[in-house]
Amino acid sequence: MSALAYALTALGGLGAAGLGLAGWLGHAWSVELLWLVPLAGLALRMDPLAGFFLFLVGATSVPASIYAIGYMRGARRGLGAYAVFLLGMAVVPLAANVPTFLIAWELMALASYALVLHDREDAAAVRAAWIYAVMTHAGLACLLAGMLLMFAWTGSLVFADWRAASATLDAPARNVVFVLLALGFASKAGMIPLHVWLPAAHPAAPSHVSALMSGVMIKLGVMGLLRAGMEWLGVGPPWWGVALLLAGALSALAGVLYAAVEGDLKRLLAFSSIDNVGIILIAAGAGMVFHAAGLETLAVFALAAGLYHTVNHAAFKALLFLGAGAVARGAGTRDLEAMGGLIKRMPWTAAAFLVGALAIAALPPLNGFVSEWLTFQALLQNGLIPRPELNLVFVLALAGLALTGGLAVACFVRAFGIAFLALPRSEGATNAHEAGPAMRAGMGLLVIACVGLALLPTVLLPRLGAAAARLLGDPAPALRHDLLTIAVSGDFATLSMPVVAGALTLGLALLPLLLRLARAPRAVRWSETWGCGRLLQTARMEYTAIAFASPLRRIFDFLYRAEKRLEVEAHPESRFFVRRMAYRNAPRALAEEWLYAPLLIALRAGADRVRAIQSGSANLYLIYVLAALLVLLVLA
Among 8, 39, 484, 626, binds another protein (CB under 8 A): 484
Closest approach of Cβ 350 to another protein, in Å?
Answer: 8
Of the pair 152, 524, the CB lying nearest another protein is at 524
Of the pair 523, 632, the CB lying nearest another protein is at 523
Closest approach of Cβ 351 to another protein, in Å?
Answer: 9
* 3 state DSSP class of 484: coil
Under 8 Å between Cβ of 502 and 454: no
Q: Which residues contact 226 (CB under 8 A, 6 or more apart)?
A: 49, 284, 303, 471
CA 5 to chain centre: 27
Closest approach of Cβ 403 to another protein, in Å?
Answer: 5
Residues 386-415 within binding reach of another protein (CB under 8 A)? 388, 391-392, 394-395, 398-399, 402-403, 405-407, 409-410, 412-414
Amino acid at site 599? L
Query: What is the C-alpha separation between 26 and 46, in angstroms, rounded?
Result: 9
Among 383, 533, 572, 616, binds another protein (CB under 8 A): 383
> Are β-strands 493-495 and 563-570 bridged in parallel, bridged antiparallel, or unpaired?
unpaired
Among 27, 73, 344, 433, binds another protein (CB under 8 A): 344
Under 8 Å between Cβ of 32 and 94: no
Closest approach of Cβ 36 to another protein, in Å?
Answer: 50
Amino acid at site 49? L
DSSP symbols for 396-449: HHHHHHHHHHHHHHHHHHHHHHHHHSSS--SHHHHT-----HHHHHHHHHHHHH
Query: What is the C-alpha separation between 362 and 376, in angstroms, rounded?
Result: 12
Query: What is the C-alpha separation between 82 and 9, in angstroms, rounded?
Result: 9
Of the pair 164, 555, the CB lying nearest another protein is at 555
User: Which of 263, 310, 362 minimizes the C-alpha distance to 55?
Assistant: 310
Closest approach of Cβ 544 to another protein, in Å?
Answer: 8
Residue 493: strand pairing partners? 488
Of the pair 179, 363, the CB lying nearest another protein is at 363
Residues 412-431 within binding reach of another protein (CB under 8 A)? 412-414, 416-418, 420-423
Query: What is the C-alpha separation between 56 and 599, in angstroms, rounded?
Result: 36
Of the pair 179, 539, the CB lying nearest another protein is at 539
Of the pair 392, 597, the CB lying nearest another protein is at 392
Query: What is the C-alpha separation between 342 and 356, in angstroms, rounded?
Result: 16
500 binds another protein (CB under 8 A): yes
Amino acid at site 564? K
Q: Which residues contact 588 (CB under 8 A, 6 or more apart)?
A: 560, 561, 562, 563
Closest approach of Cβ 538 to another protein, in Å?
Answer: 9
Of the pair 186, 279, the CB lying nearest another protein is at 279
384 binds another protein (CB under 8 A): no
Q: What are phi and psi of 601, to 5 degrees?
A: -60, -45
232 binds another protein (CB under 8 A): no
Start-to-end C-alpha separation, the chain: 58
Under 8 Å between Cβ of 412 and 357: yes
Among 100, 349, 377, 426, binds another protein (CB under 8 A): 377
Among 527, 614, 617, 619, binds another protein (CB under 8 A): 527
319 binds another protein (CB under 8 A): no
Query: What is the C-alpha separation between 79 and 616, in angstroms, rounded?
Result: 44
Amino acid at site 580? R
Among 36, 39, 167, 503, binds another protein (CB under 8 A): 503
Of the pair 31, 541, the CB lying nearest another protein is at 541
User: Which of 42, 72, 213 minimizes the C-alpha distance to 132?
Assistant: 213
Residues 62-81 within binding reach of another protein (CB under 8 A)? none
Query: What is the C-alpha separation between 492 and 515, in angstroms, rounded?
Result: 39
Burial class (CB in 10 A: 0-12, 13-18, 19+), 234: middle
Among 34, 513, 523, 612, binds another protein (CB under 8 A): 523
CA 254 to chain centre: 14
User: Which of 94, 96, 211, 189 minimizes the C-alpha distance to 142?
Assistant: 189
492 binds another protein (CB under 8 A): yes
Among 380, 562, 589, 591, binds another protein (CB under 8 A): 380
Binding mask 600-619 vs another protein (x if CB under 8 A, - otherwise)?
Answer: --------------------
Among 1, 4, 508, 536, binds another protein (CB under 8 A): 508
Of 55-63, 174-182, 353-361, 627-635, the segment contacting another protein by CB under 8 A is 353-361
Of the pair 154, 251, the CB lying nearest another protein is at 251
* 3 state DSSP class of 322: helix
Of the pair 166, 382, the CB lying nearest another protein is at 382
Among 211, 233, 362, 453, binds another protein (CB under 8 A): 362
Of the pair 205, 359, the CB lying nearest another protein is at 359
Residues 528-587 within binding reach of another protein (CB under 8 A)? 528-531, 537, 539, 541-543, 547-552, 554-555
Closest approach of Cβ 375 to another protein, in Å?
Answer: 10
Of the pair 519, 611, the CB lying nearest another protein is at 519
Of the pair 129, 298, the CB lying nearest another protein is at 298
Q: What are phi and psi of 34, to 5 degrees?
A: -65, -30
Among 35, 121, 123, 491, binds another protein (CB under 8 A): 491
